[in-house]
Amino acid sequence: MKQANTKPIHYVLWDLGPGGMELNVLQYIDHFYGHSKMEVYGLRATENTLFDESKVKVICARNNPGNTYWKYWQYCRSNRKDIFHLNNGGPVILLITLLAGVQNPIYHIHGTIYWKSAIQKVYLKFVWFFIRILLTFRKVRFVANSHYSEKVFRDNVLKVKPLVIYNGIDTGRFYAHFHPRKRLKKMAYVGRLHPGKNVELVIRLFEEIAADHPQLELHIAGSGPLQEAIRKQCDASPFHQRIICHGFISDIERFYGEVDLFLFLSAFESFGNVLVEALLTGLPVLTSDIPAFREIYGEHHIFELGKPENYNNIKQRFIQAVRTYPVLASKPLTMIEELKHRFSQQNHVDQINALYVQM
């Protein structure tokens, strides 16, 4: 590191599971260990199964009695001179952080959905309004994980200009499994089995071409609340013997290396770690039309199928992409060097460290 921060750092998360934000924090702990004292505060966590407590103190706040917000205020107040790095905490958590006297917290944006109902929108808009007033004499460093999430935040939440820092990927880990694909034998989905991920559409698209491609298989890797529903859909498919549900896979780089086409039709994403990981192994991708995905693969519109709600359009583009599979499969090779640099862990952590040094 050119210049290392030495102030204590507090990483604030809602949960302590293996999600994108939590994995980012794992990177920070690995890189800053030995330079700074670090703590991870899980607002509603009851257990830690992710972080090495020999390197970082972990607080599972749900295990301590009292109101979630009051406990967090006390924590902030006790450590108000330190660096606070909030990961998608929401406006109430940011407001509490500021009212407790924390100076210059980092608010890291990882999503694009800020309310789920009209009532919630009114309430949260009011909190953001109060934060805007505080920002006239207090400072917050806003960071977004893509230009798309930055724009959504600026247009819908707060008229500020977040700094864009792309998520860091262990590029060497995935590039070690790189090889050009020649034939389409295995389709795949990788990710959480959550509403909005549209895994059911991936299964339907597989069924559209399965009869014409008798050797083709569909492999689904991931877990989540829809796991049982997805399994039932697979079991009911006329091609169920060629659909394999793997659940969570720890060595996901190996999985990418063993399949030939990755479908990711999510309805909303602020970035898309899995797309970068897949492309680094040479795996061609087909995606929905999320703007953040275009930040990853640029002008390669051959990867984009369209809006998930327009299934007929997606189906037609998918069938055409399969027909011209060799063209699709040739694209990742042309992108490798840029992907390795732009989305590397080192590039990401260097930018985060630069923020810490300024605090």
Alpha helices in the chain (DSSP H): 20-32, 68-78, 91-99, 118-134, 147-156, 171-175, 199-210, 227-236, 252-258, 273-280, 291-297, 311-323, 325-342, 345-358
CATH entry 2.30.300.10 includes domain 9-168+344-358? no
Q: What is the pLDDT of residue 45?
A: 93
Q: What's 169's DSSP letter?
A: B
Per-residue pLDDT of the chain (359 residues; tens, 9 = 90+): 567 677 999 999 998 887 778 889 999 999 999 999 999 999 999 999 899 999 999 999 998 888 999 999 999 999 999 999 999 899 999 999 999 999 999 999 998 889 989 999 999 999 999 999 999 999 999 999 999 999 999 999 999 999 999 999 999 999 999 999 999 999 999 999 999 999 999 999 999 999 999 999 999 999 999 999 999 999 999 999 999 999 999 899 999 999 999 999 999 998 999 999 999 999 999 999 999 999 998 876 789 999 999 999 999 999 999 999 999 999 999 999 999 999 999 999 999 999 999 88
296: its two tokens? 């990853």
Per the CB < 8 A criterion, the answer to whether 265 and 191 are in contact is: no
Spell out a b/e string for 157-183, using b for 16 or more CB atoms within 10 Å of the CB, else e: bbeeebebbbbbbbbeebbebbeebee
Q: Fold match between 9-168+344-358 and 171-342?
A: yes
Torsion angle in degrees (nearest 10) through CA of 321, 326, 328, 329: 130
Regarding beta strands 261-264 and 186-190, do their DSSP bridges make them parallel or antiparallel, or are they unpaired? parallel
The answer to whether 301 and 295 are in contact (CB under 8 A) is no
Name the residue type at position 103.
Q
Residue 230 CB partners (closer than 8 Å, separation 6+) = 193, 199, 200, 203, 220, 245
Using alpha carbons, select from 104, 110, 41, 63 the residue that is nearest to residue 94: 104
Architecture per CATH, 171-342: 3-Layer(aba) Sandwich (3.40)
pLDDT value, residue 14: 94
CB-CB contact of 173 with 349 (8 Å)? no
Q: Decide the pairing of beta strands 285-288 and 106-109.
A: unpaired
Residue 19 near residue 222 (C-beta atoms within 8 A): no
CA distance 262 to 316: 17
Question: What per-residue confidence (pLDDT) applies to 1?
Answer: 52
Q: Where are the domains of the chain?
A: 9-168+344-358, 171-342
Enumerate residues 6+ apart whose C-beta is below 8 A from 343.
166, 167, 168, 169, 171, 276, 296
